[in-house]
Structure 1
Amino acid sequence: MRPAIRSAVTASAAGEGVGANGSARSARASFWKRQLRQWHWISSALCLALVMLFAVTGITLNHAGFFESEGVSELNEFELPPAVVEQLAEIETEAPLSDDLASAIRESTGVDLSGHLARNEYGEMVFDLARPGVDGNLVLDLNEGRAYHEEIDRGTVAMLNDLHKGRNAGPVWSLLIDLAAVCFIIFALTGFGLLWLQARMQPSTWPLTSFGAVLPVIAYLLFVHL
């Protein structure tokens, strides 16, 4: 083969190799871009409502004194049937309430104590009935044979703030917060991946990303860690 022809063939093969490598890189980039976009929008769709909840309650929590109301207190007093008092008095220290006892207490006070533990302390039983936005308790005075039910309603904002913290919200809500946190992490990581792939087309990508990462550290070092 003549040298000129050999050189042309070699150059052609090299060009095809470069083209193949470029196509492979482009295919990989397209694959990751599709995957990142897919998971980014899925995670954003799943956690949109909770992101809004936690964002808004982040403000209301930070200024709770301004947004939360003082609360409306309500105290009710009830007389307990002697038979119920006798059965409760048989609980010496701590025991779960039976369904019959819980039903009898509900009929007398309107308060459902199903699944609660009864603790007898010198003839008095106190049940914590707090829930998001509401502080409440039921006191059973076995010595007097009376029940005292108190509730303090702190309003809707307090309820949302308690949901933000998972306060008195139960295990299911706590699990929902964990699942939401996983969605937030996926949303953030896929967003970072998309930033990485498109950084060349947006020169301000890394300065803005770096500023967002460093700002909390600066604020902590200058104004918190004293």
Structure 2
Amino acid sequence: MQIQLNSNRAFWLKHLYRWHWISSAACLVGMLLFAFTGITLNNANHIESLPAVSKRTATVPAPLLKQIQTDPADDKAALPKATADWVGNAIGVELANQPGEWSEAEVYVSLPRPGGDAWLVIDRESGEVNYELTDRGWVSYINDLHKGRNTGVAWSWFLDIFSVAALVFSITGLFMLSMHAGNRPSTWPLVGLGVVIPLVLVILFIH
């Protein structure tokens, strides 16, 4: 019976170690990034960042101007492809399939991005294009990566996969703690502190 128990224990420990190190390797860089950005987010008021604003202008040529003078079927439609390509090349931005806000006077395109913001306005009568980009620096950039703000589908998938790897890492670590706890009396008191301390802080100091 004891031999069987030892065999089962060895089997589970082997697999727990395997999944623990695989998950830790998979999410190592992500955990370092998210731990660092947790500090920068928590101390955002103490980290000075002066936004850099740049502006660009252009004028849509007459043949393309007719495309934006024609009312679209949807007032949230993207710019016509030919116009979007021309403006994108002239300004240096990607406008394909970017929804716009169409009014009688202008087309407004919002272009949010991590670490900053941007927008573009086209006058439907004159074809004048005004583009403004605000860059809030690298700290704001990595903070937005942490929050998944304006980062796109690929980064959203990365966050989900990273979260699953971090859960596997934490859960396998907990099971390994439980299997070694008999020889390490301080195991459960330390785990308990990890639960109690944030709970007490939430109850007493967060309103």
Which of 23, 44, 49 is 1:43 aligned to?
23
2:171 maps to 1:189: yes
Deviations 1:23-82 (A, max 9, x none): 000000111111111000000000000000100000000111222512111112222212
* 2:64–2:82 contact (8 Å) kept in structure 1: no
Q: Identify if the C-alpha distance between structure 1 residues 68 and 157 changes in structure 2 by more than 3 Å, giving closer, same or farther.
A: farther
Structure 1 unaligned residues grouped into runs of 5+? 1-20
Match of 2:115 in 1: 133
| AA in 2 matched with 1:43 | S
Aligned to 2:202: 220
1:175 maps to amino acid: W
Structure with larger Rg? 1
Instruction: Supply the distance in 2 between the matched residues of 1:118 and 1:86 (Cα, whole angstroms).
Output: 17
Letter in 1 for 2:60: L
Query: Does the alignment pair 1:107 with 2:89?
Result: yes
CA-CA distance at 1:117 after TM superposition: 2.1
- What is the rounded CA distance, in whole Å, between the counterparts of 1:155 and 1:208 in structure 2? 39
Match of 2:129 in 1: 147
Aligned pairs (5 A) from 1:162-201? 162-201=144-183
Whether 1:120 aligns to 2:102 is: yes
How much does 1:118 deviate? 3.0
Q: Distance in 2 between matches of 1:185 and 1:68?
A: 34
Instruction: Quote the sequence identity (%).
Output: 38
- CA-based RMSD of the aligned residues comes to 1.4
Partners of 2:198 and 2:6 in 1: CA distance? 36
- Which residue identity does 2:94 align to in structure 1? D
Read off the aligned partner of 2:120 and give its amino acid letter. L
Aligned residues: 205
- Which amino acid is 1:78 matched to? A
Q: Is the 8 A contact 2:181 2:188 kept in 1?
A: yes
Q: What is the TM-score of this pair, normalised by structure 1?
A: 0.86
In the other structure, the counterpart of 2:78 is 96
TM-score, normalised with respect to structure 2: 0.94
Query: Any unmatched runs of 5+ in structure 2?
Result: none
SS at the partner of 2:112? coil
- Alpha-carbon separation, structure 2, partners of 1:97 and 1:77: 17
For the Cα contact (< 8 Å) 2:67–2:80, is it kept in 1?
Answer: no
CA–CA distance in 1 between the matches of 2:19 and 2:48? 37
Distance 2:69 2:45 in 1: 43
User: Which structure carries more helix by proportion?
Assistant: 1
